[in-house]
Amino acid sequence: MAKLTLDELRRRREQARKSIYLRDGEFRGKVIVHMGTCGIAAGARAIVATFLEELEKSGRTDILVTTSGCAGLCSKEPMATVEMLDSPPVKYVLLTPEKVRRIFAEHILGGVAVAEYALGIGSERAG
Amino acid sequence: MSNGGERREKVGAALVVGGGIGGMQAALDLADAGIKVYLVESKPAIGGVMSQLDKTFPTNDCAMCTMAPRLVAIGRHKDIEVLTLTEVERIEGEPGNFTVTLRRRARFVDENVCTGCGSCVANCPVRFIPQPLDSIPPVKLAPEVQARVDQIIAEHRNRPGPLMPILQSINAVYNYFPEDVLRYVSQQLGIPLTHILRVATFYNAFSIVPRGKYIINVCMGTTCYVRGSERLMERFSDTLKIKPEETTPDMLFTLKAVRCIGCCGLAPAVMIGDTVYGKLTVKEIPGIIKKFQGANGHGQAHTG
Amino acid sequence: MAARRIELMLCTGTGCVAGGAFRIKKVLEEEIARHGLQSEISIVPTGCNGFCGQGPLLVVMPEKIFYGWLKTEDIPFLVQEHFLKGRPVKKLMFTPPERKEPIPLLSDIPFFKKQMLIVLRNKGIIDPEKIDDYIARDGYAALEKVLTSMTPEEVIEEIIKSGLRGRGGAGFPTGIKWKVCRNEPKTPKYVICNCDEGDPGAYMDRSVLESDPHSVIEGQTIAAYAIGASHGYIYVRTEYPLAIKRMQKAIEQAREYGLLGENILGTGFSFDLEIREGSGAFVCGEETSLIHSIEGKSPEPRQRPPFPAQVGIWGCPTVINNVETLATVPVIINRGAEWFSKIGTETSKGTKIFSLVGKINNTGLIEVPMGITLREIIYEIGGGIPGNRKFKAVQTGGPSGGCIPASLIDLPIDYESLTQAGSMMGSGGMIVMDEDTCMVDVAKFFIQFTNDESCGKCTTCRDGSAALLEVLTRITDGEGQEGDIEFLEELAWAIKDASMCGLGTTLPNPVLTTIRYFREEYEAHIREKRCPAKVCKNLIAYWIDPQLCQACLICKRECPAEAIYGEKHIVHVIDQSKCTKCGTCLEVCPPRFGAVKKLSGEPVPPVERGMKVERKKKTATPLQEQSSA
Ligand SMILES: Cc1cc2nc3c(=O)[nH]c(=O)nc-3n(C[C@H](O)[C@H](O)[C@H](O)COP(=O)(O)O)c2cc1C
Ligand code: SF4
Ligand code: SF4
Ligand code: SF4
Ligand code: FES
Ligand code: FES
């Protein structure tokens, strides 16, 4: 590659920051996909993948996608909990990739929970 | 030598060779015992190396303070004759009666008149007489060895300070320095062999004797030592029947103590080739040796 | 790069690689692929994480969960449980010896808690082979700042103001050194980074080069700008192949980005770097010797002055700095001298890396602010001494340093306090010793080392160390005489006075400090022919306690000298005339029996051969399976 100028170095730094955000970023929100055996059977893997896809498209580096064990509501899998800073966690049930896209746009980016997919607002313990 | 207690005629004089502090003291002791002494010194003056020292060890005495009284005493002693710029050529005879042939070089300066002002030194036009080197025949290496060494030399010769990188590359190929390779390098680079040897023998990672295919580096750094690496070394030594720094006759292993390989967290540590064995116990040693022997169809000599 | 949900920071420092980090990596990759998680999880090979005693290890981001002592067998379970199903695996987490519950988070582990990371700011967070990772964490921002908005004089002023002192041992103020060199009229000038790190037991420089090579390159480039140099060398000892490889790669990447070479970042400033390898000589860490070594001369040190800053490599003004010193520079430039000078003590600013090793629970590299006490380091960070043994001393400063006794545990760690205690900061090795370490033996060890490594130029150093060694060997062999201690002291001072380079003038320190603080141990060796720590071979004997031996036959089988007599049901006895004191029997006797003892300073109690084993009653101890071996 060609040698960098000062501006290019700065731009490169901004870009590179994004690629390591998991290691030292500040997070405003977190998506927890429940990945018990039942969740995986019900398609939780695709849910994770969709969240990651949307995340990448948005270019945001302050949102985390993680997994956790079975939430005990196997009939409602796949499920995910969305926790945004300064607002109560929301548990979404019976997810599909389409639902995920809407949740991502409206709740995570827009800040308004998608009530029709939610199990209950604020009923979930934090983290 | 002597034929049963039979005594021959003895000459009442002694010759001391070398006018350093030892020779000076010997001359004085002999002369004080009533013997005529000839003190021979090849340099223009007696005194030797001590005259250049500031202090002496281990007592820290001043060197000149030790020496000056002896210089004066020798100069004044009626029974000591100082022969400077003189070398011994031939000794004949037997104990008690030697005949010594000396060669005295010309001083070109009248010692009785010279005041030691140093003007002649400052004004001498001849500063440097180069030693001709062309009398040494060029070293011949086997063609494949020469190709290899030439390549190494070509790679580094144009950097400043090429000697170390060249030696390191040669060491990486042979695990030691074959003598003719060093001679060859000396001639190619125009660096005296003595200098190359001085560098080659200074570092722990170099060797001028062949070493085994596997160098067993037992860490003797502080941490490993405190954690018992000396016992590992003994066990390697007992099992392989060689001492540290030695090589097994089959040229498979060289045992070596190293100082910290930077794995102190795993002390005691041993490094063989690129593999590090951490938290090693004496019990595991025979197994490790077997593993390397096995990998080599034991006994196969290393050629190189 | 695609969005991921997990990054696995896998340590690939020398220690963990020796422990099998690359095998772990391979299995991790396979398992991740097996679960089809490649797009969600990435593995980031990092440099040394610091907690080497726990290696091979990995930290799971973003949660920062710490897993240590990994084995390849654990990986399939770990991947399935944690990385797929999100259930962290407790049994692979770190559990301090005195506690039952594991500590999941890296930041909660006491070893990491008290540390303050400046030089090691990127350890375990970046992939050392990726320049972009470094750049992302403000890498080369200091260089940018220096080249665009500071004059060389301002850079030097800033470093002087920060109070940064050399981390290579002597603690010379770095800014002043740069200033002297800048003011020399002769050109060209050079910067050398000293990574010879010969101090056995210290490996922080290796770790910095392995985990964050660009921070050294950046620091060195800033130094070059400050003094007006256009060429530099990094002198790395040959025992560090991984460090050399990573540094080489880093230099190539920096060149490619135009951060080294002609016209850096288009500012008109040019500087390039070259690696030179050492070949295993401790004295080559000394600056003049190092210069000779690069020049291909015989590497003995030379008299100073002139200092290298005046007359250095190829006869030109040269700044030589330690790895850690240079890696600190970018942070000072970025965050300001004022910020830096608030850390540490009055005379010693900033942080220092120590390698905390030896008889300590948590082994590894730590970076702590100057002025921290030994107590905090050993008990809070280090987690105390293993096996409930008593803390006896800590050796700092390597062969140039000394042993600091347990009574000085509240000593604040800075250049001056250590010197006052008779030791030295040195490069930062901290070797903890417990009651099983013999101080005379330790002194002998260091003198053996310096005697080996003395270049031989000065009689005092060459022959003086040999004379010290002879007396120390005599003492540890049980042949010490009255007056030996006084002789050692006298000789030590003569060596200190009359040697030329730092190796000679400091080599008596281990002897002097052990005499100063542990005189009674020397006396026990000399007068009572007893080694209190039971280390010195000539003064100890191995003995099997007939009351405890359960005739399990293990020691007999393992003894290489065939010195043990015994059979089934018969108490084992060591034939003292055959025993070579290798210590194997002590090591192999099962801890539940603990029958082999070391004796010193007392006669070996005679044991009759053929005695029947006294079986312990089953009700007393649950030892059913005894002697079934
Ligand atoms: C025997 C001896 C060994 C030394 N070894 C090292 C070493 O391994 N690494 C190092 O950085 N400095 C070492 N030094 C110190 C160097 O001479 C020099 O002071 C140092 O590199 C300067 O860098 P600094 O000002 O950044 O500390 C050693 C000194 C002596 C006398
Ligand atoms: S003090 Fe020792 S190592 Fe240093 S120059 Fe003298 S002999 Fe060499
Ligand atoms: S110390 Fe070694 S030689 Fe002596 S009895 Fe024990 S195992 Fe045998
Ligand atoms: S190993 Fe211990 S218990 Fe077993 S025979 Fe030897 S001394 Fe006795
Ligand atoms: S002391 Fe052995 S690896 Fe450091
Ligand atoms: S090498 Fe892995 S923690 Fe140090």
Place A71 in a pLDDT band, splitting at 50, 70 and 90.
Answer: low
Place A121 in a pLDDT band, splitting at 50, 70 and 90.
Answer: low
The pLDDT tens digits of the residues spanning C106-132 come to 888 888 888 899 999 998 888 999 999
CATH of residue C492's domain is 1.20.1440.230
Nearest to C85 among A23, A36, A53 (CB): A36
The three-class DSSP label of residue C100 is coil
Q: What is the pLDDT of residue B11?
A: 67
Place C439 in a pLDDT band, splitting at 50, 70 and 90.
Answer: very high
The pLDDT tens digits of the residues spanning C374-393 come to 999 999 999 889 888 899 99
Q: What is the pLDDT of residue A125?
A: 42
Query: Which among C494, C527, C560 is the end of a domain?
Result: C527
To 5 degrees, how large is the angle CA A110–CA A116–CA A117? 85
Q: What is the pLDDT of residue C622?
A: 44
Chain C residues with CB-CB distance to B275 below 8 A: 18
- Specify the ligand 5 atom closest to the Cα of B267: 2
Q: What is the pLDDT of residue C624?
A: 44
For residues C423 and C556, membership in a common domain is answered with: no
Q: Classify residue B128 as exposed, middle or buried by CB count within 10 Å of its CB (0-12, 13-18, 19+).
A: exposed
Q: What is the pLDDT of residue C3?
A: 74
Would you give the end-to-end CA distance of chain C in angstroms?
Answer: 58
Q: How far is the CA of C20 from the centre of ligand 6 (A)?
A: 11
The pLDDT tens digits of the residues spanning A77-117 come to 788 888 887 788 888 888 888 888 988 888 888 888 888 88
Q: How far is the CA of C535 from the centre of ligand 4 (A)?
A: 21
Q: How far is the CA of C627 from the centre of ligand 4 (A)?
A: 9
Q: What is the pLDDT of residue C618?
A: 47
CATH of residue C144's domain is 3.40.50.11540
Q: Which residue in the block uniquely carries the two structure tokens 């990054």?
A: C7
Mutate to test the interface with C, among A3, A15, A27, A77 (most CBs of C within 10 A): A3
Number of structural domains found in chain C: 5
Please state the rounded mean pLDDT for residues C550-579.
Answer: 89
Q: What is the pLDDT of residue B10?
A: 63
Q: What is the pLDDT of residue C135?
A: 92
CATH of residue C37's domain is 3.40.30.10
Query: Which among C289, C320, C341 is the end of a domain?
Result: C341
CA-closest residue to ligand 2 atom 1: C504
Q: Does the pLDDT value for residue C196 go beyond 70?
A: yes
Q: Which ligand ends up closest to the CA of C70? A: 6
Q: What is the pLDDT of residue A1?
A: 58
CA–CA gap between residue B226 and residue B247 (Å, rounded): 26
Q: Does the pLDDT value for residue C151 go beyond 60?
A: yes
Query: Which among C412, C434, C456 is the end of a domain?
Result: C434
Q: Write phi, then psi, for B10 (nearest 5 degrees).
A: -110, 145
Is the separation of the CB atoms in B241 and C337 below 8 Å? Answer: no
Is the separation of the CB atoms in C12 and C21 below 8 Å? Answer: yes
Q: Classify residue B131 as exposed, middle or buried by CB count within 10 Å of its CB (0-12, 13-18, 19+).
A: exposed
For residues C416 and C451, membership in a common domain is answered with: no
Residue C289 maps to a domain: yes
The alpha-helical segments, DSSP class H, found in C454-598 are 459-476, 484-498, 502-506, 509-527, 554-558, 584-588
Chain B residues with CB-CB distance to C278 below 8 A: 203
Please state the rounded mean pLDDT for residues C522-544.
Answer: 92
Angle, to 10 degrees, between the axis of helix C174-183 and the axis of helix C213-227?
40
Q: What is the pLDDT of residue B95?
A: 82
Partners of residue B214 on adjacent β-strands: B253
Place C239 in a pLDDT band, splitting at 50, 70 and 90.
Answer: confident
> Distance between alpha carbon C577 and the CA centroid of its chain, in Å?
40
Chain C residues with CB-CB distance to B278 below 8 A: 15, 18-19
Residue C126 maps to a domain: no
Q: Write phi, then psi, for C540 (nearest 5 degrees).
A: -125, 165
CA distance A115 to chain C (A): 26
Nearest by Cα to A27 from A65, A79, A57, A69: A65
Residues in chain B: 304
CA–CA gap between residue C159 and residue C337 (Å, rounded): 7
For residues C226 and C325, membership in a common domain is answered with: yes
Mean of all residue pLDDT scores within chain A: 81
Q: What is the pLDDT of residue C205?
A: 92
Is residue C97 reached through a cis peptide bond, with omega within 30 degrees of 0 on the bond before it? no
Q: How far is the CA of B23 from the centre of ligand 3 (A)?
A: 54
Q: What is the pLDDT of residue A120?
A: 62
The pLDDT tens digits of the residues spanning B177-217 come to 998 999 999 988 888 888 888 899 889 888 888 888 888 99
Quote the ipTM score: 0.82
Q: What is the pLDDT of residue B68?
A: 87
Find the domain containing C190 and state its range. 131-341
CA–CA gap between residue C502 and residue C496 (Å, rounded): 9
Tell if the CB–CB gap between C3 and A20 is shorter than 8 Å: no
Tell if the CB–CB gap between C582 and B231 is shorter than 8 Å: yes
Specify the higher pLDDT residue, B116 or B165. B165
Please state the rounded mean pLDDT for residues C567-571.
Answer: 88
Share of chain C above pLDDT 90, in %: 56
Q: Does the pLDDT value for residue B283 go beyond 80?
A: yes
The pLDDT tens digits of the residues spanning C27-86 come to 999 999 998 888 889 899 998 888 888 879 999 988 889 999 899 999 999 998 888 888
Whether chains C and B touch (3+ CB pairs under 8 A) is answered by yes
Is C90 touching A (CB cutoff 8 A)? no
The pLDDT tens digits of the residues spanning C1-22 come to 467 888 899 999 888 888 889 9
Q: Which residue in the block uniquely carries the two structure tokens 């190359």?
A: B196
For residues C136 and C274, membership in a common domain is answered with: yes
For residues C609 and C508, membership in a common domain is answered with: no
Domains of chain A: 27-121 (3.40.30.10)
Residue of B217, B218, B219 best suited for mutating to test ligand 5, as the one with most atoms within 8 Å of CB: B219
Chain A nearest-CA residue for C1: A19
3-state helix, strand, coil in chain B (%, to 5): 40, 15, 45
For residues C516 and C446, membership in a common domain is answered with: yes
Q: Does the pLDDT value for residue B160 go beyond 80?
A: yes
Please state the rounded mean pLDDT for residues C208-229.
Answer: 94
Nearest by Cα to B195 from A70, C299, C310, C494: C299
Please state the rounded mean pLDDT for residues C297-323.
Answer: 91
Q: What is the pLDDT of residue B228?
A: 83
Is the separation of the CB atoms in B252 and B214 below 8 Å? Answer: yes
Partners of residue C322 on adjacent β-strands: C194
CATH of residue C372's domain is 3.10.20.600
Partners of residue C364 on adjacent β-strands: C356
Specify the higher pLDDT residue, B41 or C610. B41
Ligand 5 pocket, residues with Cβ under 6 angstroms: B 219, 221-224, 260-264, 267, 269; C 200-201
Mean of all residue pLDDT scores within chain C: 89
Nearest by Cα to C222 from C361, C87, C325, C115: C325
Place B299 in a pLDDT band, splitting at 50, 70 and 90.
Answer: very low
Residue C122 maps to a domain: no
Q: Which ligand ends up closest to the CA of B270? A: 5
Mutate to test the interface with C, among B222, B232, B275 (most CBs of C within 10 A): B222
Share of chain A above pLDDT 70, in %: 89
For residues C446 and C389, membership in a common domain is answered with: no
Tell if the CB–CB gap between A20 and C138 is shorter than 8 Å: no
Q: What is the pLDDT of residue A114?
A: 86
CATH of residue C572's domain is 3.30.70.20
Nearest by Cα to C17 from B266, B236, A111, A70: B266
For residues C137 and C263, membership in a common domain is answered with: yes
Tell if the CB–CB gap between C87 and A17 is shorter than 8 Å: no
For residues C18 and C57, membership in a common domain is answered with: yes
Chain A neighbours (≥3 Cβ pairs under 8 A) are C
Q: Does the pLDDT value for residue C621 go beyond 90?
A: no
Tell if the CB–CB gap between C7 and A65 is shorter than 8 Å: no
Please give the interface size between B and C, counted as residue pairs whose CB atoms are below 8 Å apart. Answer: 168
CA–CA gap between residue B74 and residue A9 (Å, rounded): 79
Within 42-101 of A, beta carbons closer than 8 Å to C belong to 45, 48-49, 52-53, 55-56, 64-69
Is C88 touching A (CB cutoff 8 A)? no
Residue C282 maps to a domain: yes
Is the separation of the CB atoms in C522 and C485 below 8 Å? Answer: yes
Residue B158 CA: distances (Å) to CA of B146, B149, B153, B165, C118:
19, 15, 9, 11, 39
Whether chains A and B touch (3+ CB pairs under 8 A) is answered by no
The pLDDT tens digits of the residues spanning C154-193 come to 999 999 999 999 998 888 999 999 999 999 999 899 999 9
Is the separation of the CB atoms in C142 and C215 below 8 Å? Answer: no
Specify the higher pLDDT residue, C512 or B44. C512
- What's the token pair of residue B163? 């000697």
Q: Does the pLDDT value for residue C625 go beyond 50?
A: no
- What's the token pair of residue C327? 């890696």
Please state the rounded mean pLDDT for residues C601-622.
Answer: 71
Chain B neighbours (≥3 Cβ pairs under 8 A) are C
Q: What is the pLDDT of residue C2?
A: 62
For residues C359 and C318, membership in a common domain is answered with: no
Q: Which residue in the block uniquely carries the two structure tokens 């301002």?
A: C154
Q: Does the pLDDT value for residue C276 go beyond 90?
A: yes
Chain A residues with CB-CB distance to C4 below 8 A: 22, 52
CA–CA gap between residue A104 and residue B262 (Å, rounded): 49
Please state the rounded mean pLDDT for residues C455-478.
Answer: 91
Q: Which ligand ends up closest to the CA of C358? A: 5
- Specify the ligand 2 atom closest to the Cα of C459: 7
Side-chain-side CA neighbours of C165 within 13 Å: the count stands at 21
The pLDDT tens digits of the residues spanning B265-280 come to 888 899 887 788 888 8
Q: Does the pLDDT value for residue C286 go beyond 70?
A: yes
For residues C506 and C580, membership in a common domain is answered with: no
CA distance C282 to chain B (A): 9
Nearest by Cα to A1 from C276, B285, C132, C143: C132
For residues C553 and C512, membership in a common domain is answered with: no
Please state the rounded mean pLDDT for residues C354-370.
Answer: 90
Query: What number of helices (H) and strands (E) belong to chain C?
Result: 23, 17
> Distance between alpha carbon C225 and the CA centroid of its chain, in Å?
31
Q: What is the pLDDT of residue C508?
A: 93
Q: What is the pLDDT of residue A62?
A: 82
CA–CA gap between residue C164 and residue C332 (Å, rounded): 9
Within 3-32 of C, beta carbons closer than 8 Å to A belong to 3-7, 9
Share of chain B above pLDDT 90, in %: 32
Domains of chain B: 12-104 (3.50.50.60), 133-202 (no CATH), 214-295 (3.40.30.10)
Residue C125 maps to a domain: no
